[in-house]
């Protein structure tokens, strides 16, 4: 029974499979054109467009494997470019707005010399899960359209030359796990709306210029493992409810303007192995022993209004 019934479709399908493999070039022409435009914008001259980048053939460009990654498992036997990874390619152009026409999952331009702004067209890549633009010389303000990247899990913008404030639309990225922008040139405050981003495991924002702001409400971000808010002009007290972030391993709120007593939260933060409260105006509450127990990993230098450290 089984043999008879399964044999027929197998015989029927086999020639079809061979045909689609033989034709090879299954990347749609509009995506090839987008790649041409992208190469032009970033000054890349060595891609051979008579080779389909999805075939993995070496003459697309042998020395740069996986710069362009395709997914060829779409139902109608077409491929799509899903990942563009130009990590450390010494590129000095701008970010191509044509990226916005591709169904990308990953974009990385980590460690290049790209200048100019993030094009608002990137907000149209609703499939995007990772946008890594750190260590470039990007400028301008962050487009509000970044808030349309509702699938994004990883947004890394560290070490750039952006201006303006963090857009409030970041609060729409509810799947976001990693928000990392250390020394990116941006101004504060950290938008209060980010308090709803409960999937964050890694929140690292440093060196914000601009006006003073209160400590953001983070008590629902219980998945947080790394919290770095260094030099962000934060005023007021260190909130007691940080004690709810029981997965924290790294807590660095140094170089702010925090005042008041250090709350008794360190008994709850059992996984903490790096604590930096230095360069604030905090005072020791009744938890001095709690902190002393952890002295090997704690930096409280100049944390206190009286200038004494432990």
In the complex, which residues of this chain contact ligand NAG (CB under 6 A)?
Answer: 43, 46, 48, 50-51, 59, 61-64, 69, 71, 73-76, 78, 82-83, 92, 100, 105-106, 120-121, 123-124, 130, 137, 144-145, 147-148, 161, 169, 174-175, 185, 195-196, 198-199, 209, 217, 219-220
CA distance 54 to 26: 8
Burial label, 290 (beta-carbon count in 10 A; 0-12, 13-18, 19+): middle
C-beta of 187 vs 299, nearer to ligand NAG: 187
CA distance 210 to 93: 29
CA distance 30 to 32: 5
Least Cβ distance, residue 294 to ligand NAG (angstroms): 27
Q: List the beta strands (DSSP E) in 86-190.
A: 106-108, 115-116, 130-132, 137-140, 154-156, 161-162, 178-182
C-beta of 104 vs 300, nearer to ligand NAG: 104
Least Cβ distance, residue 295 to ligand NAG (angstroms): 32
User: At a CB cut-off of 8 Å and minimum separation 6, what does 42 contact?
Assistant: 86, 91, 93, 94, 96, 114
Least Cβ distance, residue 77 to ligand NAG (angstroms): 9
CA distance 205 to 203: 7
C-beta of 126 vs 308, nearer to ligand NAG: 126
Least Cβ distance, residue 100 to ligand NAG (angstroms): 5
CB atoms within 10 A of CB 174: 12
C-beta of 148 vs 291, nearer to ligand NAG: 148
Q: Which tokens is 152 given? A: 């994004």
> Do 67 and 46 touch, CB atoms closer than 8 A?
no
C-beta of 62 vs 305, nearer to ligand NAG: 62
Least Cβ distance, residue 289 to ligand NAG (angstroms): 31
C-beta of 137 vs 237, nearer to ligand NAG: 137
Least Cβ distance, residue 249 to ligand NAG (angstroms): 20
């Amino acid at each position: 029974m089984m043999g008879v019934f399964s044999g027929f479709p197998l015989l029927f399908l086999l020639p079809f499979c061979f045909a689609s493999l033989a034709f090879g070039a299954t990347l749609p022409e509009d995506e090839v054109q987008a790649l041409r435009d992208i190469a032009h914008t970033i000054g890349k001259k060595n891609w051979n467009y008579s080779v389909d980048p999805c075939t993995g053939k070496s003459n697309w460009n042998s020395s740069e494997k996986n710069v362009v990654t395709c997914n060829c498992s779409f139902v109608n036997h077409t491929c799509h470019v899903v990942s563009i990874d130009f990590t450390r390619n010494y590129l000095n152009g701008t970010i191509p707005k044509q990226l916005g026409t591709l169904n990308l999952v990953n974009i990385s331009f980590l460690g290049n010399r790209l200048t100019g702004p993030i094009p608002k067209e990137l907000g149209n890549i609703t499939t995007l899960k990772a946008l890594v633009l750190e260590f470039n010389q990007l400028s301008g303000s962050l487009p509000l359209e970044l808030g349309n990247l509702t699938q994004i899990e990883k947004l890394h913008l560290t070490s750039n030359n952006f201006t303006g404030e963090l857009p409030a639309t970041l609060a729409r990225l509810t799947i976001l796990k990693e928000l990392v922008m250390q020394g990116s040139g941006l101004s504060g405050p950290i938008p209060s709306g980010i308090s709803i981003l409960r999937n964050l495991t890694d929140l690292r924002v440093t060196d914000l210029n601009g006006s003073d702001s209160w400590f953001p409400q983070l008590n629902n971000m219980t998945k947080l493992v790394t919290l770095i808010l260094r030099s962000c002009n934060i005023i007021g007290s260190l909130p007691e409810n940080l004690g709810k972030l029981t997965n924290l391993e790294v807590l660095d709120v140094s170089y702010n303007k925090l005042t008041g007593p250090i709350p008794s939260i360190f008994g709850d933060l059992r996984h903490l192995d790096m604590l930096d409260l230095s360069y604030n105006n905090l005072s020791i509450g009744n938890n001095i022993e709690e902190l002393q127990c952890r002295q090997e990993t704690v930096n409280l230098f100049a944390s206190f209004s009286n200038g004494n450290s432990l």
